[in-house]
Amino acid sequence: MAIKQKTLYEEIREAGHSRRDFLRFCSMMAAYLGLESSGVAQVVEALENNPRLPVVWFHFQECTCCSESFIRSSHPIVADIILDKISLDYTETLMAAAGNQAEEALHATMEKYHGEYVMLVEGSIPTENEAYCCIGGRSALEIVKEAAEGAKAIIAWGNCASAGCVQAAKPNPTGAKPVHKVLKGKTVINVQGCPPIGEVMAGVIVHILAFGRMPQLDRMGRPKAFYSRRVHDTCYRRPNYDAGLFVESFDDENAKKGYCLYKVGCKGPVTYNACGVIRWNNGTSYPIQSGHPCIGCSEEGFWDNGPFYQHLPSFPGFGIESNADKIGLGLGIATGAGIAAHFLATNVAKRKRIKNEDIVINEK
């Protein structure tokens, strides 16, 4: 069957959105992607002329929060256009077909678009016993390896697919592993968080659509556009930290004034994510703004770095307990130094894992 692929711009116009809407969308995406204003033209050009990408979305050991977050993406046309218009050919959560018909749809895309489709993975893969996660009678491990073979790009959604998340917390009873650990030699984009912010998920897809290559990744495989800043550094409560103004217990007088949550366990100083900038659900709020410490959900192994309500100097890897009850700038410097050391150490360990190679997608 001949396939006429439409460009995103055509889809948007047919959906009844104006060119003005389209350009506003492109500007917004360019801004989120951290581009200079000249980059907007590139986004416009790419979305107008590139055909829709076939996409397959797998679910393994997960809770579906990533799918839910994706459909929360709030820009005027992302839910309408990106979600439907990338040609989402397989997703157990939303697809009409079930059973054999669903599996047929998957294989049709994998064959017809071999080497062309984008593979999205939500969930970790159990390795203790393959029978711990089966779909259509086949194991997650078998499915992920088969699909990766013909994928042009692989995106790991959320902490499960990027780092194993809650089921990989000690003692990891099912041997849950992230995608990059079962697909050796493949480049995987790790869109971290539990879940990732919806607009970040959409932004990564738009980046691939618009520029025909992968976004720049950090050494944990995370797109730099969204994961290069600590929550601490972009936190609007940061001046309270610097001034030594802390919440001592939940709902105390200081909590009612919105002071820094560091002493009730905030992991913002060791967490790289866009929460402080993009915020959640169309910029409505983010955990710290709503009075709860960051639990560090975009970091590998964050479940085992708790307890959540214990403040950071006793965080594993930080030898600065003596500063625990001092407040103010001195502590800030000490903590910062500890964080830098921690981050460097982590990066060295991960260095070999990620090869940030651009790949060409939708080459015209």
Pairing between strand 117-122 and 55-59? parallel
Pairwise CA distance, residues 318 & 218, whole Å: 22
CA angle 287, 288, 294 (to 5 degrees): 70
Specify whether the CB–CB gap between 166 and 303 falls below 8 A: yes
- The piece of 33-41, 133-141, 208-216, 330-338 that touches other proteins (CB under 8 A) is 133-141
For the CB of residue 265, give the shortest distance to other proteins in the complex, in Å: 10
CA distances from 275 to 57, 141, 178, 325 (A): 25, 32, 23, 27
Binding to other proteins by residue 303, rule CB under 8 A? yes
Q: Considering the complex, state which of residue 255 and residue 334 has its C-beta at the smaller distance from other proteins.
A: 255
Binding to other proteins by residue 74, rule CB under 8 A? yes
For the CB of residue 94, give the shortest distance to other proteins in the complex, in Å: 5
Q: At what angle do helices 198-211 and 19-32 cross, to 10 degrees?
A: 100
- The piece of 26-34, 68-76, 148-156, 227-235 that touches other proteins (CB under 8 A) is 68-76
For the CB of residue 156, give the shortest distance to other proteins in the complex, in Å: 16
Report the site for other proteins in 41-60 (rule: CB under 8 A): 52, 54, 59-60
Binding to other proteins by residue 245, rule CB under 8 A? no
Binding to other proteins by residue 108, rule CB under 8 A? yes
For the CB of residue 312, give the shortest distance to other proteins in the complex, in Å: 15
Report the site for other proteins in 173-192 (rule: CB under 8 A): 173-176
Structure tokens at 252: 């105390």
Binding to other proteins by residue 244, rule CB under 8 A? no
Report the site for other proteins in 111-130 (rule: CB under 8 A): 126, 128-130
Judged by CB under 8 A, the residue of 37, 115, 137, 364 near other proteins is: 137
Q: Considering the complex, state which of residue 88 and residue 214 has its C-beta at the smaller distance from other proteins.
A: 88
Binding to other proteins by residue 258, rule CB under 8 A? yes
For the CB of residue 117, give the shortest distance to other proteins in the complex, in Å: 11
Report the site for other proteins in 211-230 (rule: CB under 8 A): none
Tell me how long the chain is: 364
Judged by CB under 8 A, the residue of 40, 45, 48, 135 near other proteins is: 135
CA distances from 191 to 20, 115, 195, 336 (A): 30, 22, 9, 25
First to last CA, the chain: 21
Pairing between strand 151-157 and 117-122? parallel
Pairwise CA distance, residues 228 & 67, whole Å: 24
Report the site for other proteins in 144-173 (rule: CB under 8 A): 165-167, 169-173
Which is nearest to 145 in space by CA: 109, 189, 181? Answer: 181
Specify whether the CB–CB gap between 229 and 276 falls below 8 A: yes
